[in-house]
Amino acid sequence: MKIPYNVLHVSGNVLFAARGGKIHSFSLDDGIYLSTWKHLDVDKVDAAVKTTADEVASKTPATSAPEAAEGGDGDEPPAKRQRVEEPKDDADKPAGEESAQASNAAEVTGEKNNKGKANQKGKKNKNKQNNQSRKDAQISKVPDRPVITHLTSTGDGAHLLAITGHDKAIWVFEHDGKGQLAQLSRRTMPKRPSSVAIAPDSQIICADKFGDVYALPLIETTPLPPSTIQPSTPAPVASKPAVKLQANTKTVHSQRNLRALNNQQRQMELATRSKPDADAKAESPDFELTQLLGHVSMLTSLVLGESDGRRYILTADRDEHIRVSRYIPQAHVIEGFCFGHKEFVSAMTISLSKREVLISGGGDEDLFVWDWKSSKLLSKKSLLSLAQEIVPELAKVAVCGLETFVYPTETGNLTYVVAICEDIQAIFSWQLTEDNALNHPSIIQLPGKPLDTAFKPAKDGEPPKIITAVDAGEQTHVKSLAIYSLIMTDEKLAVGTTTFVTDGDLEAGKSDLPETVVRGLLYNTENLRKQPTDQGEEQGGEQQEPQEA
C-alpha cells in the first residue's frame, strides 16, 4: 500500500492535502489537482530504499559484506560494526516512533526470509544473527521518511504553515490563493512540534513533545541564506537549555512525572558540563524564538482563545491536563486548569458560535464540554457508546480529530461538533445546543479509516462540506480523498452528494509500503495511553501546577 493522505486544510476554495513529505493542492469546486510542493528528503528516502533493496536482491551490499564484517567462517564471534548515523535523542521521539523505525526494516528488505532451514542448531543461530545484523545495517542507511504532521494558514489565506516531524521543521509558504505555494522559510525547532496555531498578530505559537510552548514570528525579519532555509535532515545536536525548568519535586503529582523531571534535570546537567557557554550559544536557533510556558508532560494539543478582548493559550497534555494561560507577554500567568479527564487529551476545539466553550477528547470514553475561562465542566457525552453501534466489541476509543463548524438554517445558525477516532471507519457528530449539551448524535460511515477532516463553510446557498482523508488499506478501488456535502435531517447530519478528489497518477511511480510502515508513521494516538504500570503509579488527588516565574 502507498502512504495515504493524512493531513488536510482548507484555505478559501483550495484544499491542501499532505501525503508523506508532499503537499498537494486541489480545487474544492471540482476536485481538480492544482500543484505540489515536495520535501527534499522524499527523493533521498526513495533513492536509499531502492539502493538497499538492490543490495539485498544481489546480496552484495555497497559496504563490506555483512558476513565478512561479522567474522566470517562461524568460528569467531560477530565483530562490532561502525554506526552509520548518530543515535537520535530518545526524549525527542514521539509515541510510536520506535515502531516506525523498526518497520523500515520490512520495507527495505522486502520482508524476505532465509531460504531453506539449517541442519544444525549452531548454523541456524549464526544465520539468524547475520540476518539481524544485516537488517540493522540497512535501517541505518535509510533516512527517516518525511511526513507532514500539521497544516494551517493565516486568516486571509495569504500564508500556509506546515510541520514536518522527522526534521522538527516549521515551513512557511506564501499562497497566491489559487493553490500555488512559494517557500519563504524553514526553521528547525529545538524539539519535535506536536501542535501549532497562528495568532492574529502573526505569531506562530508552537507546542512540542517535550512539554514546551514557543513563539516565533510568522515572517522572518531578516531572511536567512538559502543554504539554511532548506537543509536536508540536519543531525540532532544537544544544546544547552536556555531556560530554567519551571517544575520541581514539590509541584509534580505522580511518580511518572517525577521521573520525567529527573530526566530533564540530568540532561541539563550533562549539557552544562559537556558544552562551554560559547559553543552552546553557537548551537542555539539562528532565528527569533521565545519560550512562553512549559508542561512536565508531553503536549498533545494547543488552541488559542479570546475572551473580553484578552487572548489566551490553551494547552493539553498526555497527563490529562488542560491548562489555560494568558497570551504574550503574560504567558507565564496561569488562569486555571480544566480537570476531569482520566486519560490523555489528544484533541481540542473551540466553538465558533460560543468562543468561551471548549470541547475536548482523547482516551476517555466521553467528550467534555467546558467553559474554559472559568475552568467549569458544562457537560459530557459518551463517544464510546456511539462507536459501539459500529463496532459492538469496542472497549475504548482514541480521538484523533475534533472540529466544530456552523450550519446555517432559516431560523439561525446551528453549531455542530465532529469527531474521528483512530481505527474506526466513521465520522461522529453532535449538535451543540444552547445549554451547552451535545445532542442529536449521528454517524457517517466511511470506506476506510479516517486520518483527518477539514471543512468548507456554507456559502452562496450551498451547504457546508466536509473533506475526509481515509486509509483504505489494500482496497485499491477506494478513493482516499472525498468531499461530502452535508444535509440535515431532524437536526442530525447526513451526507448529500459526494465528490471524489482527482489526484490522477500523483503516486503512480511510488513503490508500495508494508502496512506496518504506514501504521508506524500515521497511527500514534492510541500509543499515548498509559500502560497499567503507569496507571498504578498515579497518586490520589490533583495538584495545580504553579505559575511560572
Read off the C-alpha cell for 450.
Answer: 479516517
Percentage above 70 pLDDT, the chain: 72
Tell me how far CA of residue 421 lies from CA of 395, 418, 426, 517, 535, in angstroms.
13, 10, 8, 20, 22
The CA distance from 442 to 427, in Å, is 8
CB distance 92 to 209 below 8 Å: yes
Structure confidence at residue 138 (pLDDT): 41
Distance separating alpha carbons of residues 145 and 3, to the nearest angstrom: 11
pLDDT tens-digit readout, 355-399: 999 999 999 999 999 999 999 999 999 999 999 999 999 999 999
pLDDT of residue 253: 64
Q: Which helix (H) or strand (E) holds 520?
A: helix 515-522
Report the sign of the C-alpha dihedral through residues 244, 91, 232, 41, in that order: negative
Q: State how far the Cα of 72 lies from the Cα of 43, in Å rounded to an integer.
A: 35
Helix (H, G, I), strand (E, B) or coil at 93: coil
SS3 187: strand
Average pLDDT, the chain: 80
The predicted-structure confidence for 416-436, as pLDDT tens digits, reads as follows: 999 999 999 999 999 999 999
User: Measured between alpha carbons, how far is 360 from 376 in angstroms, rounded to an integer?
Assistant: 13
Do 473 and 515 contact (CB within 8 A), yes or no? yes
Each residue's pLDDT tens digit, 108-141: 444 444 444 444 555 555 555 555 554 444 434 4
Least confident of 264-278, 383-397, 461-475: 264-278
483-542: pLDDT as tens digits:
999 999 889 999 998 988 878 778 776 778 888 989 999 999 999 998 876 554 444 444
Please give the pLDDT value at position 142. 52
Distance CA 139, CA 136 (A): 5
The whole-number average pLDDT for the span 146-168 is 95
Helix (H, G, I), strand (E, B) or coil at 384: helix
What's the chain's Rg over C-alpha atoms?
25
Query: What is residue 50's predicted lDDT score, i.e. its pLDDT?
Result: 80
Average pLDDT of 180-209?
A: 96
The pLDDT assigned to 248 comes to: 65
pTM for this one? 0.75
The Cα 530–Cα 43 span in angstroms is: 37
pLDDT tens digits, 502-516: 787 787 767 788 889
DSSP code for 398 = -
Q: What is the pLDDT of residue 181?
A: 96
Q: Residue 403 pLDDT more than 90?
A: yes
List all residues 6 or more positions away from 367 whose beta carbon is below 8 Å from its beta carbon. Answer: 359, 360, 361, 380, 381, 383, 399, 402, 417, 419, 430, 438
As a whole-number percent, the residues of the chain with pLDDT over 90 amount to 55
Q: Where are the alpha helices (DSSP H) in 152-276?
A: 226-229, 255-274
